[in-house]
Amino acid sequence: MRKLFYILTIFLIIQGHDGCAQTYFDDDKLLKNQTRLDFTGQGVLLVRELVLGEILVVDTGIGLGGGYTDLKNDVLNPFWSLLNPALSLYINPKYYFYRRKVIKTCELCYKNGGAYLGGRLRFVSGPYGELHFTDLRSILLSNVHLGFQMGGSSNVLFRGHLGFGYAVTLHNGTGTLYPSVDVGISRILNFWRK
């Protein structure tokens, strides 16, 4: 319980950070703080992107979606139940590489678009619904991935990543390596501020 308290405290502190200004482009393609709603295979997530520099962004998110059962035979076992969703919290620092070159040539690099190297730390809870037959477990996932985020002039983003990670169940410490694949559509909830 104490670990969960620390994770939530750090999550809330990061959510309150406003980010830093950028200096080298006065353009609509600059990285900017934004709030978005993600629809992915992992569930529905409310995400806050905070700009920490000219090429560094940190995503923090909270959401509801699928959970995980016990690790069996060193395999991660996802489980979806609409009546019994799992709560997830995550933090994902993203380093946008070749940002200056990409901004000059990319047509879909608005709204923090581009390619990045990321590292995600994600906590997924056990069940919160009334149905406990699914045997969902609290699990901590970490991964390193290459990702992309593309958005045109609308408030819709297409995003995804591919990488590898390590997952560990918190009730018994069993862990395993896993491939990290994520594809989703996001809706930006706030408007750009000048």
Residue 111, domain CATH? 2.40.160
Q: What is the mean pLDDT of residues 83-108?
A: 79
Q: What is the mean pLDDT of residues 152-166?
A: 87
Q: Is residue 154 one of the residues assigned to a domain? A: yes
Q: Is residue 171 one of the residues assigned to a domain? A: yes
pLDDT at 20 over 70: no
Higher pLDDT, 27 or 120: 120
Q: What is the mean pLDDT of residues 103-117?
A: 75
Over its C-alpha atoms, the chain yields an Rg (Å, rounded) of: 17
Q: Is residue 120 one of the residues assigned to a domain? A: yes
Q: What residues make up the domain containing 41?
A: 2-19+28-188
Q: Is residue 193 one of the residues assigned to a domain? A: no
pLDDT at 17 over 60: no
Q: Which of 32-36, 44-48, 108-112, 130-134 has the highest mean pLDDT?
A: 44-48
Q: Which of 182, 177, 178 is nearest to 118 (CA)?
A: 182
- Tell me, what DSSP letter sits at residue 49? E
Band of pLDDT at residue 4, cut at 50, 70 and 90: low
Residues 63/69/71/75 CA torsion (nearest 10 deg): -70
pLDDT at 138 over 90: no
Residues 108/109/110/112 CA torsion (nearest 10 deg): 140
What tokens were used for 52?
A: 């920490």
What was the pLDDT predicted at 68?
A: 75
Q: Is residue 40 one of the residues assigned to a domain? A: yes
Q: Is residue 144 one of the residues assigned to a domain? A: yes
Higher pLDDT, 75 or 171: 171
> Phi and psi at residue 78, in whole multiples of 5°?
-70, 150
Distances in whole angstroms, Cα of residue 141 to Cα of each of 96, 138, 156, 169, 188:
22, 10, 27, 9, 26
> Phi and psi at residue 71, in whole multiples of 5°?
-70, 120
Q: Is residue 35 one of the residues assigned to a domain? A: yes
Half-sphere exposure of 190 (CA within 13 A, CB side): 14
Percent of the chain topping pLDDT 70: 68
Q: Is residue 194 one of the residues assigned to a domain? A: no
Domains in the chain, number: 1
pLDDT in tens, 53-75: 888 899 999 998 887 776 666 66
